[in-house]
């Protein structure tokens, strides 16, 4: 699995999200992601991560060994810069 495929799965499962993915080891199973979406408004961190896991579906259980997540709302993303 490559970073582009992970990015496409997340973007497809969370319409309108800004998604950045980086393969941290080059092996296609350890990734670092930044996902910015309005769907995270009012959600706790665990709930935000569950949204991303749902978007990845079976890939999360079978093909991804490690996933570091940074999940932000648009306003959190703007304030971060």
| 81 band by pLDDT with thresholds 50, 70 and 90 | low
Residue 7: alpha-carbon gap to chain centroid: 7
Fold for 3-80, please state it.
GMP Synthetase; Chain A, domain 3 (3.30.300)
* Extents of the domains making up the chain: 3-80
Contact assessment for residue 30 and residue 65, using Cβ atoms and an 8 Å cutoff: yes
Q: What is the mean pLDDT of the chain?
A: 93
The reported pTM is 0.92
Beta bridge partners of 72: 36
Decide if 35 contacts 71 (C-beta within 8 A). Answer: yes
Which tens digit of pLDDT belongs to each residue from 32-55?
999 999 999 999 999 999 999 999
Confidence band of 64 (pLDDT split at 50, 70, 90) = confident
């Amino acid at each position: 699995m490559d970073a582009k495929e992970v990015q496409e799965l997340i973007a497809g499962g969370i319409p309108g999200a800004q998604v950045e993915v980086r393969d941290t080891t080059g092996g296609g199973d350890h990734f670092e992601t930044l996902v910015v979406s309005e769907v995270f408004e009012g959600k706790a961190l665990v709930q935000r991560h569950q949204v991303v896991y749902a978007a990845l579906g079976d890939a999360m259980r079978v093909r991804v060994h490690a996933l570091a997540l940074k999940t932000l709302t648009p306003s959190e993303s703007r304030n971060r810069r």
